[in-house]
Amino acid sequence: MTTDLENYRARIDDWMKLQLGTSSNTTQTGAAFCQWCLQNVLNLSEDEALDAMEISGSGDNGIDAFVLRESKQTVFVVQTKYGASHKYSEITKFHYDMSQLQTRKDRFAGGNKVAQQIIAVLYTALDKDWDVRFYYFTSEVFSKSEREKIGRLSGFQGEFHIYDLDEIAKEMESRYQDIPQSIRGQQFELKLASKDMLNFATRTAVVAVSLNEIHEFTKKCGNELFASNVRQYLQRTKVNAGIRHTIQNSPELFWLYNNGITIVCDDFYENNGAICIVTPQIVNGCQTAKSIYEVLSRKTENERKAIEGHVLVRIMKGADEKEREDITKYTNTQNAVRGKDFYSLEKFHQKLQKEFKRLGYFYEIQRGSFASLRPSDKAKYSGISHFKYLVGPKYNNVISAMEAAQAYTAGFQQLPAIAYGVPYELAPDGDWYERIFHQELPAEPRLFLYPTLVKNWTTQNGYGRRADGGWRAHSAFMFVSAYFLICLELIKRVDVDSILVDPLENSPERMHVEIWEMIFSDSELNEKLLYLTDDILERYFGDSKVYEAIGSDIRRFLKNHEVLKKHQPILMKQIETMLSSPRNRDILEICHKRILETCNTQDS
């Protein structure tokens, strides 16, 4: 795979400049690069990334970010080095420190308060044999000698994952590339362990293949064999460890213990004890095939041939796009696939991507896909000019599917705690996905654009982690939710029929999208509404009952759906008070006038 590293470097730098603004000191630059890696390589949401980075600073024990997914029994420990801060000695120091940490050395009892808490959690995760991985990221490119030395580090590509700019680019490209030209139309032979072969409707074959033959097949095809797989090799998971253990200790039982490998292809045919496969793609069993290859590559040719183990292989030819997507989606269950990767397999989001393009926005359903575009193609996404007041001057008109799902959930669905607290549950494999992206939901990009733009406005106006402490630092999605609720309550006061699609449903989602278009197109009106939302939230968070419920942990408060629901009447009271205030009468008058104009235009 060839990668344009300078293009990736430029995209990273552009993103960092957007985050940093006029700031340029070494600490802030390093933090921005760390955040980029967390969001773009490890697929965290912005809030998850910023939470993960709270350990960083004096006394951080060499850890820049710590990611805990308790429900997934997964922990990521991250160190990043931007530009000249990278040296090979930094890799060896990180490797040594984290190896020492794994052995519970006493020197890790110190550190800042957050570091002490995190080390305790990490020790617990290690004791429970969770999937604990250590990542080192740098924006530099390793020299040949560095690569050779890194490859000899204990735990490399197991517990330790060490990425330079080239590896970062490859990781991101692997998520969205089509079947590479190097394998398209090429024919590869897979020798059979038995003459017995099950055939189904002439399109599918089920065969037994030796473990050594899978090793040889994987070696001949290369990484391009996995281009259609929704994920790449996960290396160190409990499942993969089990695969390797069976190969090494009980290869004759592998057939019974493993679900096998599924290959789709353009064509296949039997030829003298083998199957010839044209354009093979493993869509399920990436972990199995690569684990077999990894273990057997350490053995001699004679040792590999002596292994008495087999694997079940399903081969399907002529699969159309939908069949490939369905096979990939529904058979990838052996390891937990990152839910965000599945956005690209959903027809709804594929259609939404096309609709967004018509509006001038790039809807990114696979992380990193925008970065791979040529500058001339990027320039085609110019956004909507009269919405520029909602975003910063360096906004690139890219809308992440995950961030759009969060904003839509907070705004139109009025579920800010879900959007903020469990964003990964909004992915296609998450518990909330079907409830949010229900069958009646139209692929209308403006339903996702408007709340996303409001979220962007908050980051330009004192919200987010750059806020001066207080409730605004964590309340961007609460703002989005309150904004749409305030707009709904305001518009319900305008005496115009048929504003709501369904008057019986008191929800922002049920209001005609043209009314929202009217609000967002009128910068004077909308800015009044945005600042009104901020005023109302200031009153809400200043309420004694809310203050008491928050206590010392505002994040826990904002992530608890039931707690927010319990305090909803307080928010509604503040909305009622402010909308009834004489000083806000002009907002109602402007809104009434604009709605009448919109309705008259539609009638004519």
More confident residue, 3 or 509: 509
- Summarize pLDDT for 414-436 with one digit per residue, the tens: 999 999 988 888 887 778 988 89
pLDDT tens-digit series, residues 190-231? 999 887 778 766 788 999 999 999 999 998 888 778 766 544
CB of 155 within 8 A of CB of 101?
Answer: no
Identify which of 13, 67, 45 has the alpha carbon closest to the alpha carbon of residue 455. 45
Instruction: Give the pLDDT score at 499.
Output: 55
pLDDT of residue 85: 93
Give the pLDDT band of residue 94 (cuts 50, 70, 90).
Answer: very high
pLDDT for 22? 67
**528 exposed, middle or buried (CB, 10 Å; 0-12, 13-18, 19+)?**
middle
Q: What is residue 244's predicted lDDT score, i.e. its pLDDT? A: 80
Q: Judge contact between 130 and 68, C-beta under 8 A.
A: no
What mean pLDDT is predicted for residues 99-109?
A: 71
- Over pLDDT 70: what percentage of the chain? 83
Q: Residue 315: what are its φ and ψ, rounded to 5°? A: -125, 130
pLDDT of residue 74: 85
**Residue 564 confidence (pLDDT) above 50:** yes
Please report which confidence band the pLDDT of residue 321 belongs to, taking 50, 70 and 90 as the band edges: low
CB 122 within 8 A of CB 75: yes
**Section 18-29 average pLDDT:** 77
Q: What is the 3-state secondary structure (H, E, C) of 245-308?
A: HHHHHCHHHHHHHCCCEEEEECEEEECCCEEEEECCEEEECHHHHHHHHHHHCCCCHHHHHHCC
Residue 56 has pLDDT above 80, yes or no: no
pLDDT of residue 503: 47
User: By three-state DSSP, how is residue 324 classified?
Assistant: helix
* pLDDT of 496 higher than 70: no
Q: Residue 215 has what pLDDT?
A: 93
- Whether residue 24 is predicted with pLDDT greater than 80 in this model: the reply is no
The band of 277, judged by pLDDT with boundaries at 50, 70 and 90, is: very high
CA angle, residues 308, 157, 132, in degrees to nearest 5? 105
Residue 190 near residue 209 (C-beta atoms within 8 A): yes
For 347, the token pair is: 């027809």
**Nearest CA-CA partner of 182 in 223, 142, 141, 210:** 223
Q: Mean pLDDT, the chain, as a whole number?
A: 83
Q: CA neighbours within 13 Å on the CB side: how many for 347?
A: 9
| DSSP result, 501-559 | SSTT---GGGB-HHHHHHHHH-HHHHHHHHHHHHHHHHHHHHSHHHHHHHTT-HHHHHH
Rounded Cα distance, 48 and 55, in Å:
13
d(CA 36, CA 168): 11
Contact 460, 454 (CB under 8 A): no
Provide the pLDDT for residue 259: 83
Reported as type and span, the H/E element at residue 75 is strand 74-81
Which part of the chain is CATH 3.40.91? 5-173
Q: How confident is the model at residue 345 (pLDDT cuts 50, 70, 90)?
A: low
pLDDT at residue 339, rounded to an integer: 47
3-class secondary structure, 384: coil
Whether the Cβ atoms of residue 269 and residue 284 lie closer than 8 Å to each other: no
Q: Which fold has domain 5-173?
A: Restriction Endonuclease (3.40.91)
The token duo for 154 is 């204990």
pTM of the model: 0.65
